[in-house]
Structure 1
Amino acid sequence: MIRWRRWRMLLTCALLCLTACAGMPDKRDRGTFVMREIEVAGTRYRYQVFVPMQVREAKTPVVLFLHGSGERGDDGVKQTAAGLGPYVHAHAAEFPAIAVFPQIPEGQEWSDNAALAMAVLDAATREFGGDPDRTYLTGLSMGGYGTWDLALMQPGRFAALVPICAGVQPHPQRPTLRVQSVLGESDPFAAAAQRLRGTPIWIFHGAKDDAVPPEQSRRMASALKAAGARDARYTEFPEANHNSWDPAYATPELWTWLWRQRRTAR
């Protein structure tokens, strides 16, 4: 009887330890990118997660990044090579959030891969102790289109959005590149703005962008203002071409603003 009590006490302690450690990353992973795999609808995908150096007992902010067309593939690495990935690499010691990098296959669009993006986000949030109320969505080019689309598909899911060099209307040279959620609307900008007006948004674009016209972001910013958005900002870099993601992520005020955002009561 005494022996059984001792085993029961040890088992209870072990379970309590597992519960306390759930969602706390391995110390060896802190300040690094780690590779993970996930199965969605019978297909396996690789993705990367940056684990911040400083992880507190409280839940950690999460940034979901949607890559552009040039980073599609199945290696699980290219999606960290442009945009947010290099910025996080350069600021690994102080970047305070979990950064999540899904990757979609060649020839596909984010509008067809919302389930993959959300599955990866949910898995990383669980594993690394992410804060659902401080989860942010950003993307560039094709991933910027995806940022608008995913936010519209998941209303109230994200505390803030940062779309960069993105469009809303179907791209004239690539009609599959579009925001599916407002396709068919007589004014897709107004329709998207009306549905997203309660979410803080900071849009970035380059004035000399020859891939996605800056007029797309200008019209979206105007629509948000007309819809009475509570916090919508637009920054246009006069000398930037399509790669406006470099000056965007290098904007110190962006991060100060972003970390202040918290999802409101649902």
Structure 2
Amino acid sequence: MADAATEPAIDAISALVPATLRALHAIEFASRHLSPTSLPRIIDALAGRNDDLAPALAASRALEWPGRLAPVRDHLERAAEAAGEALAGILAAPDASQPIIAAYRSLRGYARACESLYPLAAHLRPVSHFFLEQPARADTALVDRIAAADPTREGVGFMHVGGPSGTRGAFSLYVPEYYDSSQSWPLVVALHGGSGNGGAFLWSWLREARTRGFILIAPTAAGSTWSLMEPEVDGPRIDRMVEDVANEWNIDASYKLLTGMSDGGTFSYVLGLRGGCQFTHLAPIAASFHPLLMTFADATRLRDLPIHIVHGAQDWMFPPEMAQGAERTLKEAGAAVVYREIADLSHTYPRDENARILDWFLPDKA
């Protein structure tokens, strides 16, 4: 039982954790549905969603926490602050000179909040459940397996390789805490969109990696976006990242997925259609596709190559006709194409499609 000195801190945790998680879910909702035309509706939907966050954060900051709980306080308060700033930025976006740009920028706080919050997953069940796919939260065997794992051992959890989160040309990595070197693990390499970075995009896939048991690499482009016209810039870097990870962890060479959003999806075409590509599956999302890409494609590789295309019917940057053309062209070349056009999706990342992509990529883990 808690002593008198810790009871106020426990009360603070009990208020701050659910408030922060509700804010993060609200940001996920906004991120999934954001577009120039939907912004006013999103503002209406978010109204009041973070009313309890600021008071909970203020109460935590006013409290004299016991020294042994100071790390918990620091992680929680940083996460709450980042989530609160993100929501406040979205709500204030209509008053900005470029509302949609302001709203997109505000979403960056989500990754900062997740990075601050994740270390508490080993200690707080609601946080652990947040970083699991929803159906798996009732999977007692998985929950117990995660709880029994040592999150402090070397080589597990999330990490940034080659520099701090978002360093150009570096990458972020997640290895499930229950990693066992005696078995081989599927690999997902997820490429961020233009002006993004791997440190942020990692959190678009970490929940699924932790649930289903695969290793996740989220590279950061050497420039402001992927070298679409000069694949020799970023392509070999990605290959080296995969090689370095495979040297340290047991990767299943039969299950290596290359996926990406927007420019990252386009770059998955650029790399993935060429001969000698090491990836077994491709999943471009909200990507641009031009028939000229086929002039660099390898006909032998394309034959029966599994490709899962996801695109939004409301995409205002890359019209869905572009993705429909990709489906036709790649099928004619012999690829095994799955095409998903989502009626309410704009040019945003559809995290709700991750499970469907993984059911296709890893049917034995579905």
TM-score, normalised relative to structure 2: 0.50
State how 1:1-266 maps to structure 2 within 5 Å.
28-29=153-154, 32-37=157-162, 45-56=169-180, 57-71=182-196, 78-82=197-201, 85-91=202-208, 93-110=210-227, 111=231, 112-155=233-276, 157-169=278-290, 182=294, 185=295, 195-229=301-335, 231-249=336-354, 252-260=355-363
Cα shift at 1:92: 5.5
CA separation in 2, counterparts of 1:193 and 1:232? 15
Q: What fraction of aligned residue pairs are identical, expressed as a percent?
A: 26
Cα shift at 1:226: 2.6
- Distance of aligned partners of 1:168 and 1:121 in 2 relative to their CA distance in 1, 3 Å threshold: same
- Distance of aligned partners of 1:26 and 1:134 in 2 relative to their CA distance in 1, 3 Å threshold: farther
CA separation in 2, counterparts of 1:233 and 1:169? 18
- Distance of aligned partners of 1:156 and 1:115 in 2 relative to their CA distance in 1, 3 Å threshold: closer
Residue matched to 2:35: none
CA separation in 1, counterparts of 2:286 and 2:212? 23
SS at match of 1:153: coil
Kept in 1: contact 2:275–2:301 (CA 8 A): no
CA separation in 1, counterparts of 2:350 and 2:199? 13
User: Between Structure 1 and Structure 2, which shows a larger proportion of helix residues?
Assistant: 2
Kept in 1: contact 2:257–2:279 (CA 8 A): yes
CA separation in 1, counterparts of 2:300 and 2:286? 21
- Distance of aligned partners of 1:168 and 1:32 in 2 relative to their CA distance in 1, 3 Å threshold: same
Kept in 1: contact 2:287–2:323 (CA 8 A): yes
Kept in 1: contact 2:258–2:282 (CA 8 A): yes
- Distance of aligned partners of 1:68 and 1:157 in 2 relative to their CA distance in 1, 3 Å threshold: same
Supply the AA of the counterpart residue of 1:148: Y
Which entry has the higher C-alpha Rg, 1 or 2?
A: 2
CA separation in 1, counterparts of 2:179 and 2:243? 18
CA separation in 1, counterparts of 2:298 and 2:309? 14
CA separation in 1, counterparts of 2:260 and 2:307? 12
Kept in 1: contact 2:312–2:346 (CA 8 A): yes
RMSD across aligned positions (CA): 3.0
CA separation in 1, counterparts of 2:157 and 2:275? 29
Kept in 2: contact 1:205–1:244 (CA 8 A): no
CA separation in 1, counterparts of 2:349 and 2:170? 27
TM-score, normalised relative to structure 1: 0.68
CA separation in 2, counterparts of 1:127 and 1:138? 22
Residue matched to 1:174: none
Of residues 136-145 and 220-229 in structure 1, the stretch that sits farther from structure 2 once superposed is 220-229
Unaligned runs of 5+ in 1: 1-24, 39-43, 72-77, 171-178, 262-266
- Distance of aligned partners of 1:207 and 1:62 in 2 relative to their CA distance in 1, 3 Å threshold: same
SS at match of 2:170: strand
Cα shift at 1:137: 0.7
Kept in 2: contact 1:193–1:220 (CA 8 A): no
Kept in 1: contact 2:274–2:301 (CA 8 A): no
Supply the AA of the counterpart residue of 2:184: K
User: Between Structure 1 and Structure 2, which shows a larger proportion of strand residues?
Assistant: 1
